[in-house]
Structures are given as structure tokens and as C-alpha cells.
Amino acid sequence: MSDLNHTFGGDLGVAPNGDLATASGSALGQQRVLRRLLTNAGDYIWQINYGTGLPAMIGTPVDTAAIAGLVRSQIFLEGAVARNPAPAISVQAESSIVSLQITYSDATEATTQALGVMLTA
């Protein structure tokens, strides 16, 4: 299965021939995980419960354990993320910067995927 190549916060990807690029496999899985983590719950009108809302946490007191738990609960809602081995989620907070490092196994390709997300106030 493939979809348009679009990384959250960026433009649609363009193929070498000038057409819109598509993403599939582990690249599509990464894009979907990022979209879920960075979409605020309630913003996607067709699925009100979709989204983790990490950007909405900017400016609030940082609770790294709560953020890791929220990410863990949401990441399993994506079909691209295998349950075994369990994803590794690391949350670091320094001053007004929160960085997440997520490592998970792709459910279809059985490859290890790594994502980094940085939130700044």
C-alpha cells in the first residue's frame, strides 16, 4: 500500500519526474507515526480521538514519564508498529526543549525504525 509522501509540517514530496511522490513500507509507517504524535486530539474531524497532541504540551510543565506513556499508548494504534519487541521511548527535557527518541520494529518489514521529535517553546 502506498500514500502521498508527506512528512508532518513539510510539503508534499515530488518525484524525479515532477509528479507527486508516494511513500510505502517503513517510510509510510514513519510518516503515520509522526502524524499521530504531532496531531492534536480533536483536530482531525473525521476521527475525533486521533492524535497525541505533543505540540499542545509546549509551555506546560514537563512530565517525561507521562509523555512517554502517552506516546507508548498512541504508537500502538498505528498498524506499522509491531508490539514485539516493544518500542523504546526516551524523553529528555532540558530548559524549554523536550526531545523524544523512539525506536520500534516495523510490523510488515520487521526492520528497526528510529524517529526523533523535538519540541521547543
With cut-offs at 50, 70 and 90, classify the pLDDT of residue 1. Answer: low
Give the residue numbers spanning the domain of 53.
2-120
In this predicted structure, what is the pLDDT of residue 121?
64
In this predicted structure, what is the pLDDT of residue 55?
86
pTM over 0.85, yes/no: no
Q: What is the pLDDT of residues 65-75, one digit of tens each?
A: 999 999 999 99
Q: What is the pLDDT of residues 74-99, one digit of tens each?
A: 999 999 999 999 999 999 988 788 99
Q: What is the CATH number of the domain that holds 76?
A: 3.10.450.40
Cβ count near 53 (within 10 Å):
16
97-105, strands of its sheet edge to edge: 88-94, 97-105, 112-120
**Number of domains forming the structure of the chain:** 1
In this predicted structure, what is the pLDDT of residue 76?
92
Under 8 Å between Cβ of 78 and 29: yes
